[in-house]
Amino acid sequence: MSSDVISVDTRSVDISNLRINGDRLWQSLMDLAKIGATAKGGVCRLTLTDLDRQGRDLVIGWGKAEGLSVEVDQIGNVFMRRAGKNNALLPIVAGSHIDTQPTGGKFDGNFGVLAALEVIRTLNEQGIETDAPVEMVFWTNEEGSRFVPVMMGSGVFAGIFPLEVAYAATDTEGKTVKDELLKIGYAGEAIPGDHQIGAYFEAHIEQGPILEDKETEIGVVQAVLGIRWYDCIVTGMESHAGPTPMAMRQDALQVATRIMQEVVNIAGQFAPHGRGTVGMVQVHPNSRNVVPGSVKFSIDFRNMTDGEVDEMDAALKAFLLKIEQETGLGVELKLVSQYPAAPFHPSCKDAVRNAAQKLGYSSMDIVSGAGHDAVYMSMLAPTGMIFIPCKDGISHNEIEYSSPEQVTAGANVLLHAMLEKAGVISGK
């Protein structure tokens, strides 16, 4: 796919006062949230279920009402196009996903899709003609809550996962992705990845507390953090908690806790974007009066660049060697998964920043600690992300919330960022 950046003269039409319809966007979010609504005010719309089909049908219906052409590929990704004056240009695309967690909210993913729809509704309403085509997309199985891997649709589209491997993935009941796609009628004919993209934008709730804490309206996302996941196993020897003197113990847990603290210390050494987390611990034999003989625990390292994650990795391994030499206990480190950092394109970050400034919204540079479909799109085309605050930084939760004013601000920034790339030819 081409990574050329489209640059079009937009001076012919004054769009400085162009805004989306915030009430209409909010109503669309609330209407989509009715499909799979939970008693606690959230949404359970798992991928490739009948509820997912209903959500897809609703969004496609809205797109068709705006005159958009629809393309569904073999993994179920859905593209909807608004033609431009020069359809030989690659389209400027925005979107996200509409599948949710089992106890998900109304905004994660859904906001990005419906903000893209609202951009198109606004262009139609105002009679704005763009040079390049403008498209909206929603990707299949971003959440990974029913089928793995996560970000499946965009991953197949980007060539990260073979289509047949994705098709063969099963849920807890043994149902396959391919069968469920066929069942809901969304196994399209287009070959994933053949649909070329000129630039991609994804608007999303932050899923963290920074924008709210800084009282900032728009986050200009610099990158999605690179991730390294490990299992660490410390092996000592079980012994009786009473008769065994402290100096003679081979206490695996005490050594493990030193490593756990070092994980946090290493993250602090690689501020501001370093992250270090121990989230799972298994102690053996896990008995009140037995000195632990082995401990297995997870380590999660993240940072903005792969180079910084490499440095964190090296620091951890050096510490583990030191611990082994000091204690005589065995320490094993296994890399179980890794995801490269995804820096976003300077021109797309500039388009988001320029839009926020032009519209009078406060903004700041920010990173994403969570994965998004934009990660895989950044490998194919210039890509940018827009973050808006969410209350208390909570997401993947039924109480997830962004206000009408916040979603309106994010969609307005998306509108102007996309127009900077697509170019404005004419309008009211």
Task: Give the CATH number, domain containing residue 249.
Answer: 3.30.70.360
> Of 339, 360, 376, which one is at a domain's C-terminal end?
339
Residues 195, 130 within the same domain: yes
Residue 287 placed within a domain: yes
Do 360 and 387 reside in the same domain of the chain?
Answer: yes
Q: Quick check: is 8 in a domain?
A: no
Give yes or no: residues 386 and 306 share one domain. Answer: no
C-alpha 77: how far from chain center: 16
Q: Which of 339, 358, 374 is the last residue in one of the domains?
A: 339
Domain co-membership, 68 together with 162: yes
Same domain, 154 and 205: yes
pLDDT, tens digit, for every residue of 301-356? 999 999 999 999 999 999 999 999 999 999 999 999 888 999 999 999 999 999 99
Question: Would 299 be classed as within a structural domain?
Answer: yes
Same domain, 182 and 75: yes
How many other C-beta atoms lie within 10 A of the C-beta of residue 111?
A: 29
Q: Are 396 and 371 a contacting pair, CB within 8 Å? A: no
Q: Dump pLDDT digits (tens) for 207-240.
A: 999 999 999 999 999 999 999 999 999 999 999 9
In which element (H, E) is residue 421 found? Answer: helix 404-422
User: By the 8 A CB rule, do 99 and 56 touch?
Assistant: no
Could you tell me if residue 246 is left (phi over 0), alpha (psi between -120 and 50 degrees) or otherwise beta? alpha
Whether 329 and 358 share a structural domain: no
Instruction: Read off the CATH number of the domain in which 131 is found.
Output: 3.40.630.10
Confidence of residue 426 (pLDDT cuts 50, 70, 90): confident
pLDDT for 95-142, tens place per residue? 999 999 999 999 999 999 999 999 999 999 999 999 999 999 999 999
Query: Mean pLDDT throughout 191-195?
Result: 97
> pLDDT digits over 32-80, tens only?
999 999 999 999 999 999 999 999 999 999 999 999 999 999 999 999 9
Backbone dihedral region for residue 140 (phi beyond 0: left; psi -120 to 50: alpha; all else: beta): beta
Can you state the percent helix, strand and coil of the chain, rounding each to 5?
Answer: 35, 25, 40
Q: Token digits for 80?
A: 């909807």
What's the per-residue H, E or C state across 119-188? Answer: HHHHHHHCCCEECCCEEEEECCCCCCCCCCCCCHHHHHHCCCCCHHHHHHCECCCCCEHHHHHHHHCCCC
Q: Is position 13 within any domain? A: no
The number of folded domains in the chain is 2
Q: What is the DSSP letter of 195?
A: S
User: Comparing C-alpha atoms, which of 7, 131, 134, 8 is closest to residue 66?
Assistant: 134
Amino acid at 336: V
Q: Domain of 381?
A: 22-224+341-426
Asked whether the predicted pLDDT for residue 7 surpasses 70, the reply is no
Asked whether the predicted pLDDT for residue 3 surpasses 80, the reply is no
Give pLDDT, residue 425.
85
Whether 266 and 248 have beta carbons less than 8 Å apart is answered as no
Say how many residues make up the chain: 428
Reported confidence tier of residue 427, pLDDT bands at 50, 70, 90: confident
pLDDT the model gives residue 8: 44
Do residues 270 and 214 both lie within one domain? no
Residues 207 and 254 in one domain: no
Please indicate, yes or no, whether residues 64 and 145 belong to a single structural domain of this protein.
yes
Residue 16 falls inside a structural domain: no
Query: Residue 217: inside a domain, yes or no?
Result: yes
Q: Is the pLDDT of residue 204 over 70?
A: yes
Percent of the chain with pLDDT over 70: 97
DSSP per-residue string spanning 70-100: EEEBTT--EEEEE--S-TTSPPEEEEE----
Q: What is the pLDDT of residues 179-191, one digit of tens each?
A: 999 999 999 999 9
Q: Residue 428's pLDDT is what?
A: 64
Cα separation, 115 vs 328, whole angstroms? 58
Tell me: do 103 and 129 sit in the same domain: yes
What is d(CA 110, CA 33) in angstroms, rounded to the nearest whole number?
9
From the CA atom positions of the chain, what is the Rg in Å? 24
Cα-Cα end-to-end distance for the chain: 34
Q: Is residue 325 one of the residues assigned to a domain?
A: yes
Q: Are strands 92-96 and 134-138 parallel, antiparallel or unpaired?
A: parallel
Q: Which residue is it, tokens 């996560």?
A: 150
Q: Identify the three-state secondary structure at position 48.
A: coil
Q: What is the rounded average pLDDT of the residues 2-23?
A: 69
Please indicate, yes or no, whether residues 69 and 210 belong to a single structural domain of this protein. Answer: yes
Cross-strand partners of 365: 220
CA dist 23 → 6, 111, 127, 180 (Å): 31, 13, 20, 35
Single residue among 287, 310, 339 that ends a domain in this structure: 339
**Does residue 285 have a cis peptide bond before it, meaning omega lies within 30 degrees of 0?**
yes
Q: Is residue 375 part of a domain?
A: yes
Structure tokens at 101: 């967690």
Strands 129-130 and 218-224: unpaired
- Rounded mean pLDDT, 400-404: 98
pLDDT tier for residue 1 given thresholds of 50, 70 and 90: very low
